[in-house]
Structure 1
Amino acid sequence: MYTYQKEINLKPRARGFHLITREIESSFPDISNINFGMLNVFIKHTSAGLTINENADPTVREDFESHINKMVPENQAYYKHTFEGPDDMPAHIKASLMGTSVNVPITNGKLNLGIWQGIYLCEHRNNAGSRKIVITAQGN
């Protein structure tokens, strides 16, 4: 069994949902050494998340942003954690809802995603910096 791990920095992105599948694949060529296994992608932040969804139509990502902002609005009187601005506490809640990691099967040295699937960085802050993710691949 092989195990590979790498930490990469994603460039800063605007608030929203961003496809990062190609960035992961290009920065982690060790995946090609695995015939069958699993890739875990983990984000080391509490105000951004990861998910897998539609990779073709960008309006899906826009709809995600619109919907999650209605689910978790800013400037609520009951938020106590507001020191870093009105997007801070909502960003933490959104990140927990989306999750901090995704798993993708590896088959014949490639990510075995569905034809319309991609890995999203879910950026919930208005002025976020770069994001660190840890990529771990295991398999034979």
Structure 2
Amino acid sequence: MNSVVSRQAQEILPVGSRGTGFYDVTREVAHWVGGTGIGTGLLTLFIRHTSASLTIQENADPDVRADLADYLATIAPEDPGRYRHGIEGPDDMPAHIRTMLTQTSLTIPVGNGRPLLGTWQGIYLIEHRRAPHRREIVMHLLGE
């Protein structure tokens, strides 16, 4: 009989933003995965916010992220007269819409103690608010 012992690891990754934009967290996530001692498994990343999100996107050409940011601003523009919710400022409701259209969690396979991302893939926190914020990403790894 072949027995497999599953293990779990979990940690919160704090990320400071300087305002709207894409923040590459690939290195920090990979470093944490490598330090868990889990070689094969499934990594879940979850952002604990409603006005920021996560994505896996191209890490080579920054124009890709700029174009994506422009597109998100176009489909959920800041327009104080457009939204009912505005108590936290004109960028808050568009931030909620942009978060709803993107992702609050990611699932990434892990092999040989590292996230199995493609050559041109990076993990990004997308800050949808203009002001700096302290964000938290829950990292949970299940494997062996």
Please identify the structure whose Cα radius of gyration is greater.
2
- Judged with a 3 Å threshold, the aligned counterparts in structure 2 of structure 1 residues 91 and 71 are, in CA distance, closer, same or farther, namely same
* Alignment of structure 1 residues 71-82 onto 2, 5 Å: 71-75=75-79, 77-82=81-86
2:3 matched residue in structure 1? none
Could you tell which deviates more after superposition, 15-24 or 50-59? 15-24
- Equivalent pair of 1:17/1:122 in contact (CA under 8 Å): yes
Equivalent residue number for residue 113 of structure 1? 117
Q: When the two structures are aligned, how many residues end up with a matched partner? A: 139
1:126 corresponds to 2:94:
no
1:42-97 CA deviation, whole Å, 9 max, x = no partner?
00000000011101111111111001100111115331110111100000010111
Tell me the CA shift for residue 21 of structure 1: 0.6
Structure 2 counterparts to residues 1-140 of structure 1, below 5 A? 1-31=6-36, 33-75=37-79, 77-140=81-144
SS of structure 2 residue aligned to 1:99: coil
SS at structure 1 position matched to 2:82: coil
TM-score w.r.t. the length of structure 1 is 0.93
In structure 1, what is the Cα distance between the partners aligned to 2:106 and 2:123? 8
Gaps of 5+ in 2: 1-5
1:89-118 CA distances to partner (integer Å, 9 max, x unpaired)? Answer: 000010111110111110010110000101
- Share of identical aligned residues, percent? 45
Other structure's SS at 2:29 match: helix
Q: Following TM superposition, by how much is the alpha carbon of 1:27 offset from its aligned partner in structure 2, in angstroms?
A: 4.1
Give structure 1 stretches of 5+ with no counterpart: none
Query: Retained in 1: the 8 A contact 2:21–2:69?
Result: yes
Distance 1:125 1:78 in 2: 17
How far apart, in 1, do the equivalents of 2:139 and 2:46 lie?
A: 6
State whether residues 3 and 139 of structure 1, in contact with CA within 8 Å, keep that contact through their aligned partners in structure 2: yes
Instruction: Give the RMSD, CA atoms, in angstroms.
Output: 1.4
After TM superposition, the structure 1 stretch with the greater mean CA deviation from structure 2, 110-119 or 34-43, is 34-43
2:87 corresponds to which letter in structure 1?
A: F
